[in-house]
Amino acid sequence: MILVIDVGNTNMTMGVYEGEKLRTTFRLTTKTPRTSDEYGIIITQLLKNSGIEPKELSGSIVASVVPAVMHALQGALVRYTDTRPLIVGPGMKTGIRITTEDPRAIGADRIVDAVAAYEKYGGPVLVLDFGTATTYDLINGEGCFTAGITAPGIRISSEALWTQTAKLPDIEIKKPGTILAKETITSMQAGLMYGQIGQTEYIIRKVREESGLQDMKVAATGGLGRLIADETDAIDIYDPYLTMDGLRILYDKNAR
Please list the active-site residues: 109
- Is residue 224 within 8 A of residue 155, CB to CB? The reply is yes
Identity at 50, one-letter amino acid code: S
- Is residue 192 within 8 A of residue 173, CB to CB? The reply is yes
- The three-state secondary structure class of 151 is strand
Cα–Cα distance between 248 and 15 in angstroms, integer?
Answer: 9
Cα–Cα distance between 26 and 239 in angstroms, integer?
Answer: 17
Rg (CA), the chain: 19
Using CB atoms within 10 A of its CB, is residue 43 exposed (0-12), middle (13-18) or buried (19+)? buried
The DSSP secondary-structure symbol of 143 reads S
For the beta sheet containing 21-29, the strands, ordered from the edge strand earlier in sequence to the opposite edge, are: 21-29, 11-18, 2-7, 59-64, 86-87
Identity at 145, one-letter amino acid code: F
- The three-state secondary structure class of 98 is strand
Cα–Cα distance between 143 and 146 in angstroms, integer?
Answer: 9
* Cα distances (Å, whole numbers) of residue 55 to 1, 27, 44, 52, 73: 10, 21, 10, 8, 17
